Structure 1
């Protein structure tokens, strides 16, 4: 089933409605769809490099709006379903402790999930579930998603098809290394 979704998503890149399809995929990927918008962006940018930054902008805006939908899912579905289940199991206090810890580092969780291959939808839902401040969530999502999509767009715009294999195979690893260095740098500054 995942393979069919993958193939269907790639076929949208050749559609005359490709930008709309990208917006839809970026929106739903932020809350429940398993295929990332990058897979649609890459062939679209290779086909029309002059539109690379427009494509990245559409993906960013739609992804952040979809992230807010994921946030709403976490906020409202947890209240009606998750919390009563935890309370019946005697774990209601565990949720409060987890919420506090998640929100203490929530900026970093959203930033890292927004940049890396880690499923962004998990963090969007958890952010709503833990009642992370909406402003923090939105600003961090904009930064993370814009960095991710505009870096991909810039690489494809500058280097074209030859960079495609690198992006598809190694960009996730590069973003993870970037995040480790970034977080490590902040910890060094804070504790030294």
Structure 2
């Protein structure tokens, strides 16, 4: 049974829809603070490949919507932590909260910048930044830089590769998808082993 090829075909269909930029903006917004939305790259990449002339616009739209979503995640963390923080500590998450506070205390804005650029779940960092009351302006600037760098690289690479990338990716989509799952599982296993 194939899993990734049908998903790929559906995303490619969405990327050609006349409202695709709206869908991309919505996905980018919600992915930044709501689980379990997929990263916007899954829509941005085929849209940039299908329409290379609009790659800059699509990357900018994705970046702005993602950062607005990040601000909403920050606000959610900031508002909810007042209520949830003491309860989380009481039920045994004091060490995890201390670890997050330590990371943000040590690395500060770099944590958000790295999370914005990397495949790490950006939403967890937006909510945590708000919960820990990270300075707002550095949070927004780090989000803009991290998310912008990521989405512009994806869009520009796919615009350069163009439609030929789609032809070459489609036959290998199952292998690429399962390899991605394997890499993610290995990364989680290594992380848990190092804890």
Q: TM-score, normalised by structure 1?
A: 0.74
* Cα distance between partner residues in 2 of 1:115 and 1:17: 26
CA contact (8 A) 1:64 1:138 kept: yes
Residue from 64, 83, 86 that aligns with 1:83: 86
* Cα distance between partner residues in 1 of 2:30 and 2:143: 15
Residues paired across the two proteins, number: 167
* Cα distance between partner residues in 2 of 1:159 and 1:92: 48
Deviations 1:6-48 (A, max 9, x none): 8765543122111111000000000114301001011111111
TM-aligned CA deviation for residue 75 of structure 1: 0.9
Q: TM-score, normalised by structure 2?
A: 0.73
* Cα distance between partner residues in 2 of 1:153 and 1:90: 43
Residue from 129, 132, 136 that aligns with 1:127: 129
* Cα distance between partner residues in 1 of 2:72 and 2:123: 10
* Cα distance between partner residues in 1 of 2:39 and 2:93: 34
Residue from 103, 108, 111 that aligns with 2:110: 108
The higher-RCO structure (CA 8 Å, 6+ apart) is 2
Alignment match, 2:37: 34
Unaligned runs of 5+ in 2: 181-195
CA contact (8 A) 2:49 2:161 kept: no
CA contact (8 A) 1:27 1:66 kept: yes
1:52 is the counterpart of 2:55: yes
Unaligned runs of 5+ in 1: 173-192
Alignment match, 1:24: 26
CA contact (8 A) 1:45 1:55 kept: yes
* Cα distance between partner residues in 2 of 1:150 and 1:44: 13
When the two chains are superposed, the root-mean-square deviation of aligned CA atoms in Å is 3.0
TM-aligned CA deviation for residue 138 of structure 1: 0.2
Alignment match, 1:181: none
Moved more, 2-11 or 27-36: 2-11
